[in-house]
Amino acid sequence: MKIEQEVLKLKPQMEKDKEVLWNHPEKGLCEFETSSYIKKRLEEIGYKDINTNIYETGIIATLKGKEDGPCILFRSDMDAVVMDETGRTKHTCGHDAHMTILLSLAKILMDNKDKMKGTVKLLFQPDEEGDAGAKFMVENGALENPKVDKAFAIHVWSEFKEDEIAIKEGTVMASSDPYDIVVYGRGGHAAMPEKCIDTIYIANKIGIALKEMARLDVETEEKAIIGATAISGGKTNNVIPDIVHMKGICRTNNNEVRKEMKKKLQETVEGIAKEMGGSAEVKFLVEYPVVVNSKEEAKTIQDLAKNVVSKVVTDYQTTTSEDFSYYLEKVPGCMIFVGCTKDKFYPQHNENFTVGENPILIGTEIFYEIAKKYLM
């Protein structure tokens, strides 16, 4: 990896920031200590225009250069992963590293403010893991005043080794549409099923039908992953329940396919229940659109990354999801994957997942290269 001295000299502060953020994980919309620390650090660096009233715990710091130019947004998420039913949180997705990277960029940009031709927005976003905080940041004006021209985000990524970056044109992350289904029937004695409308049987048929809807035999861009992930109903051996609850998720690599599959899913669920004498309701929950990198910006960053890391992957996409899609629906930009696996592989959200020093240095350098490209 090739890291400039301007970035390397920030290592001691990076370590301090990372340690504080790692040791204070907070779930979405509860990032109060995190938000307070970030605001304090931005003020220490010299930022005056800090908006902490954008959406719950969200922060936007704005820095204007000496001359006019584009407005570039750099985004970091802030929330930690809720690990279990007790509500325990831990930074097992790398958001502590993302915040450290953005704070480091904040310092570099402040030091180079006189060279800037344009405006930078540094956006610290709550609730990426939970209820798509990006959607509400956008709705609350994060891309306005001044109007953002391009938006960029980094995600440290366990599927790549340190000193590797993945940046692809077009689709890079799938949509995510979790849903709840309620199946209604007529409960009764299990010895007299002919007098009942069997909700367990209906739910089983729905589960099989949804799995068969998944489009796995088509091009990657057209794929859909659909299925039930939880079924709950009944409590005894000899009673057919009136109601069964189901949970599931739909993921696609194409926003048009996404619309089609959601519509088909609803029709399938309601149709099966009706055919068997019952009824069913489908409720879609938090919705994450497909993350689509704009072609021109992706190509530019691929070229920039070749001067920073030993390997740039240009064809990687994943069926995981990210709410950065809400920004990219409005303005051109990119999600950039920075490899973070060193010796042993641990996937995101695993108890043992951590991010070391090198991905933070690389992430900061990449953000700095983007800032120089568009603003200096």
Q: What interhelical angle do 95-111 and 357-375 show, nearest 10?
A: 40
Q: What interhelical angle do 11-22 and 95-111 show, nearest 10?
A: 140
- Looking at residue 214, what is its pLDDT? 77
CATH 3.30.70.360 range(s) for the chain read: 177-284
Both tokens of 296, joined, read 């021109």
In the CATH scheme, what is the code of domain 177-284? 3.30.70.360
- Looking at residue 215, what is its pLDDT? 62
Burial class, 270, CB count within 10 angstroms (exposed 0-12 / middle 13-18 / buried 19+): middle
23, 376 in Cβ contact below 8 A?
no
In a structure prediction context, what are the per-residue pLDDT tens digits for the chain, which is 376 residues long? 899 999 999 999 999 999 999 999 999 999 999 999 999 999 999 999 999 989 999 999 999 999 999 999 999 999 999 999 999 999 999 999 999 999 999 999 999 999 999 999 999 999 999 899 999 999 999 999 999 999 999 999 999 999 999 999 999 999 999 999 999 999 999 999 999 999 999 999 999 999 888 765 556 666 788 989 999 999 999 999 999 999 999 999 988 889 989 999 999 999 999 999 999 999 999 999 999 999 999 999 999 999 999 999 999 999 999 999 999 999 999 999 999 999 999 999 999 999 999 999 999 999 999 999 999 9
Please give the distance of CA 98 from its chain centroid, rounded to a whole number: 12
- Looking at residue 216, what is its pLDDT? 55
Separation between Cα atoms, residue 170 and residue 149, nearest integer Å: 18
- Which of 148, 156, 85, 96 shows the shortest CA–CA distance to 122? 148
- Looking at residue 372, what is its pLDDT? 97
- Looking at residue 172, what is its pLDDT? 96
- Full 3-state SS string of the chain: CCCCHHHHCCHHHHHHHHHHHHCCCCCCCCCHHHHHHHHHHHHHHCCCEEECCCCCCCEEEEEECCEEEEEEEEEEECCCEECCCCCCEECCCCHHHHHHHHHHHHHHHHHCHHHCEEEEEEEEECCCCCCCHHHHHHHCCCCCCCCCCEEEEEEEEEEEECCEEECCCEEEECCEEEEEEEEECECEECCCHHHCECHHHHHHHHHHHHHHHCCCCCCHHHCEEEEEEEEECCCCCCEECCEEEEEEEEEECCHHHHHHHHHHHHHHHHHHHHHCCCEEEEEECCCECCEEECHHHHHHHHHHHCCCCCEEECCCCECCCCCCHHHHCCCCEEEEEEEEECCCCCCCCCCCCCCCHHHHHHHHHHHHHHHHHHHC
- Looking at residue 221, what is its pLDDT? 64
- Looking at residue 190, what is its pLDDT? 96
pTM above 0.85, yes or no: yes
pLDDT digits (tens, 9 = 90+) for 323-335: 999 999 999 999 9
CB atoms within 10 A of CB 53: 10
Ramachandran quadrant class, 310 (left: phi over 0; alpha: psi -120 to 50; beta: rest): alpha
- Looking at residue 213, what is its pLDDT? 84
pLDDT digits (tens, 9 = 90+) for 81-103: 999 999 999 999 999 999 999 99
CATH architecture of the domain with range 5-172+290-375: 3-Layer(aba) Sandwich (3.40)
Both tokens of 211, joined, read 């799995």
CATH 3.40.630.10 range(s) for the chain read: 5-172+290-375
- Looking at residue 217, what is its pLDDT? 55
